[in-house]
Amino acid sequence: MRKSRIAPWAVSLLLAAACTLAGPVATAAAPGIAATGYVALGDSYSAGVGAGSYLTAVPRCLRSNLSFPALWAAAHSPASFSFSACDGAKTGDVLKNQLGPLGPRTGLVTLTAGGRDAGFTSVMAVCVLGGNGMCRSAVAKARTAMDATLPGDLDRLYSAIRGKAPAARVVVLGYPRLYQLNGSCSGGLPDAERSALNDASDHLNAMLAARAAAHGFTFVDVRKAFAGHEICSAEPWLHSVDWLDLGESYHPTASGQSLGYLPLLTAAL
């Protein structure tokens, strides 16, 4: 008995018809490359400076077990967790030194970056040591410098992240306002200077939100969560200036990480 033959092109047509009748078929990920890993990038706010309980494996970077990335990873057990964030990192440092763990398996990327580029560290030093007029001048110069260079720096970083982790959900987290105005502080900066610093933080957050949206990333605004918990509030989640440990000054406490940043990240996913 003669076996019937079906030409290869006919087989292709039959398969195509079957797929059309059955509806669209989801593309399955290749075995072993499911995008479920988590990479935490960024500066000291992501690293957890100010929260304590620091890891000692990388002496050049202060990274805390009480940071929001470490807490989220502990609670959700991603397939892998790469903690790349490092204190003092600018956007260029993140671009140059932290993107190595990104890849096809990366399903989540979190990032805080831009505060260091804006010069907030040097601005705060001027404000604390230099007097009121110098403080306002330093804030104004920082805003001008921020507008000139930071959007382009963020675009380069965000594009590189997307290129290296095409399947990842990327969450950019912002920065809190530093001061509660008319608060409980008995000394230090006048409220006019505190207000100028808060306005600069608002300006930075607006820029981060705009650039994140332009790249299809999620922006998380933390200012409402920290409202009532700024410096000079009754229950601050931010360190004020600490002359014994200047590195922790103006950074979130452990409560700021666990009660401020962590719930907002969880809600965004």
124-139: pLDDT as tens digits? 888 888 766 788 899 9
Statement: residue 30 has pLDDT above 60: no
The reported pLDDT for the residue numbered 52 is 93
What distance in Å separates the CA atoms of residue 237 and residue 235, rounded to the nearest whole number?
Answer: 7
Statement: residue 8 has pLDDT above 80: no
The reported pLDDT for the residue numbered 118 is 85
Catalytic residue among 12, 44, 80, 159: 44
What distance in Å separates the CA atoms of residue 168 and residue 62, rounded to the nearest whole number?
Answer: 25
Task: Please give the model's pTM, rounded to 2 decimal places.
Answer: 0.85
Catalytic residue among 137, 239, 251, 258: 251
Higher-confidence position of 229 and 118: 229
Statement: residue 144 has pLDDT above 80: yes
Chain-wide mean pLDDT for the chain? 87
Cβ-contact 11, 63 below 8 angstroms: no
Q: For residue 129, how many C-alpha atoms fall within 13 Å in the half-sphere facing its CB? A: 8
Complete edge-to-edge strand list for the sheet that includes strand 81-83: 81-83, 37-42, 106-112, 169-173, 218-220
Residue 44 annotated to the active site:
yes
Statement: residue 41 has pLDDT above 80: yes
CA angle 169–214–107, rounded 5-degree value = 10
How sure is the predictor about 247, in pLDDT bands with cuts at 50, 70 and 90?
A: confident
What distance in Å separates the CA atoms of residue 223 and residue 209, rounded to the nearest whole number?
Answer: 13
If we measure between CA atoms, which residue out of 145, 212, 203, 123 comes closest to residue 173?
212
The reported pLDDT for the residue numbered 189 is 87
Hey, what's the torsion of the CAs at 213, 173, 226, 262, to 10 degrees?
Answer: 130
Percent of the chain's residues with pLDDT above 90: 68
What distance in Å separates the CA atoms of residue 136 and residue 190, rounded to the nearest whole number?
Answer: 11
How distant, in Å, are the alpha carbons of 1, 15, 17, 39, 53 from that of 4?
Answer: 9, 18, 21, 55, 73
**DSSP sequence for 80-146:** -EEE---TT--HHHHHHHT-TT-STTEEEEEEE-STTTTTHHHHHHHHHHH-HHHHHHHHHHHHHHH
